[in-house]
C-alpha cells in the first residue's frame, strides 16, 4: 500500500466578488507516494502547490476527490510542515532549542528526552553552540535550519516543505539542501518538497511531480535516478541535465 494516496483531488475556491464562478486551483490530481520517498513538486508560481500541501496537512479540505496518509484522513495523521516564511512561522520569543522543543512539549515528552532529541538534532546541523540564542538573533539560513529541526523533532509520518529555501540566497540554499538531505537520510521521512527551482527539485528528490499552470494538473512524473548521497557536483553531470531537459520538455507542450 502506498503511504500517500491522492485520488482525483480537486479544489475550488469561491470568489467573494463573483458568486457564479469559482476559482479552480487543483484539477483532478492523482499520485501515490511510497514510504520513505522524497518527492519534489515542481510547478510555476501560483499554480496551487501550497493548496495541495494545505490539504495534505489537514488544514484545508478538498472540494472533491480524496487524499489519504497511511490510509487515514490527513486531519488524523501527524504531519510536519516547514514554511517558506520562517520569521512568521517560528516563535521569536523562544530560543533556538525552545522553538524545537515546542514540537515535543505538545506531545508530552519529558524534559530529559526533550533535551536529548533537541541536542542531537542541533549537533547534526551544527547549531548546537547557538541553542540558547533567541530565534531572531540567527541568520536566515540558521532560522530555516531550526524550522527543519523542529519538523524532524515532531517525528511526523509525512514531512511537507513549502519552498523552504526560496527566500535564502543562492549559496545558502545550496548549503541548506545538503543539510536537509543529511538529516533526511537518517530517518528517511516521506517528504513532499514544493519548489519552483528546477535544480533544487532534481537535486533533492527521488521523483519530481511536474504541475501545470493553474488550475494545476499533473503534467508528468519524472524519476530522478541519481545515486545518494548526493553532492553538489552532480548539478553539472550529464544525467542531471538529461532529467532537467525531460522536465523542461514537459513545459514546452503547454504552449
Instruction: Note the residues at the interface with other proteins (CB under 8 A).
Output: 57-59, 78-81, 83, 85, 88-93, 102-103, 106, 134-136, 154, 160
Task: Provide the minimum distance between the beta carbon of 251 and other proteins in the complex, in angstroms, as a whole number.
Answer: 30
ω into 229 cis (within 30 of 0): yes
C-beta closer to other proteins: residue 104 or 127? 104
Whole-angstrom Cα distance, residue 119 to residue 131? 8
Q: Spell out a b/e string for 13-25, using b for 16 or more CB atoms within 10 Å of the CB, else e.
A: eeeeeeeeeeebb
Phi, psi values for residue 41, rounded to 5°: -110, 115
Task: Provide the minimum distance between the beta carbon of 56 and other proteins in the complex, in angstroms, as a whole number.
Answer: 10
Whole-angstrom Cα distance, residue 158 to residue 81? 9
Task: Provide the minimum distance between the beta carbon of 82 and other proteins in the complex, in angstroms, as a whole number.
Answer: 9
Task: Provide the minimum distance between the beta carbon of 248 and other proteins in the complex, in angstroms, as a whole number.
Answer: 32
Dihedral sign (CA 235, 239, 244, 247): negative
C-beta closer to other proteins: residue 3 or 90? 90
C-beta closer to other proteins: residue 134 or 251? 134
Whole-angstrom Cα distance, residue 89 to residue 147? 8
C-beta closer to other proteins: residue 159 or 208? 159
- The residues, any chain, with a CB within 8 Å of residue 252's CB and separated by 6 or more, are none
Task: Provide the minimum distance between the beta carbon of 96 and other proteins in the complex, in angstroms, as a whole number.
Answer: 13
How many CA atoms lie less than 13 Å away from 136 in the CB half-sphere?
Answer: 5
Q: Which of 157, 144, 159, 142 is nearest to 194 (CA)?
A: 159
C-beta closer to other proteins: residue 107 or 237? 107
Strand partners, 38: 191
C-beta closer to other proteins: residue 32 or 50? 50
Task: Provide the minimum distance between the beta carbon of 93 and other proteins in the complex, in angstroms, as a whole number.
Answer: 5
Do 55 and 62 contact (CB within 8 A), yes or no? yes
Do β-strands 190-195 and 158-162 pair in parallel, antiparallel, or remain unpaired?
parallel
C-beta closer to other proteins: residue 56 or 224? 56
Do β-strands 38-42 and 190-195 pair in parallel, antiparallel, or remain unpaired?
parallel
Q: Strand, coil or helix: what is 113?
A: helix
Task: Provide the minimum distance between the beta carbon of 108 and other proteins in the complex, in angstroms, as a whole number.
Answer: 11
Amino acid at each position: 500500500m502506498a503511504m500517500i494516496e491522492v485520488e482525483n483531488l480537486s479544489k475550488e475556491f469561491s470568489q467573494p466578488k463573483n458568486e457564479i464562478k469559482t476559482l479552480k486551483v487543483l484539477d483532478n490530481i492523482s499520485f501515490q507516494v511510497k514510504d520513505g520517498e522524497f518527492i519534489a513538486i515542481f510547478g510555476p508560481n501560483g499554480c496551487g502547490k501550497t493548496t495541495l500541501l494545505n490539504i495534505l496537512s489537514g488544514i484545508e479540505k478538498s472540494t472533491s476527490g480524496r487524499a489519504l496518509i497511511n490510509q487515514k484522513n490527513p486531519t488524523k495523521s501527524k504531519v510536519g510542515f516547514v514554511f517558506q516564511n520562517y520569521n512568521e512561522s517560528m516563535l521569536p520569543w523562544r530560543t533556538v532549542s525552545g522553538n524545537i522543543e515546542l514540537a515535543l512539549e505538545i506531545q508530552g515528552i519529558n524534559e530529559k528526552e526533550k533535551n536529548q532529541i533537541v541536542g542531537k538534532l542541533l549537533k547534526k546541523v551544527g547549531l548546537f553552540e547557538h541553542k540558547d540564542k533567541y530565534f531572531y538573533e540567527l541568520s536566515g539560513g540558521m532560522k530555516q535550519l531550526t524550522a527543519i529541526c523542529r519538523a524532524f523533532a515532531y517525528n511526523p509520518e509525512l514531512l511537507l516543505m513549502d519552498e523552504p529555501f526560496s527566500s535564502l540566497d543562492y549559496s545558502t540554499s545550496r548549503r541548506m539542501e545538503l543539510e536537509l538531505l543529511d538529516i533526511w537520510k537518517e530517518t528517511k521521512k516521506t517528504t513532499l518538497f514544493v519548489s519552483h527551482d528546477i535544480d533544487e527539485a532534481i537535486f533533492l528528490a527521488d521523483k519530481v511531480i511536474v504541475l501545470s499552470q493553474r488550475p494545476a494538473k499533473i503534467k508528468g512524473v519524472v524519476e530522478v535516478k541519481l545515486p545518494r548521497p548526493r553532492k553538489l557536483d552532480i548539478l553539472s553531470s550529464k544525467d542531471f541535465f538529461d532529467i532537467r531537459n525531460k522536465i523542461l520538455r514537459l513545459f514546452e507542450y503547454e504552449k
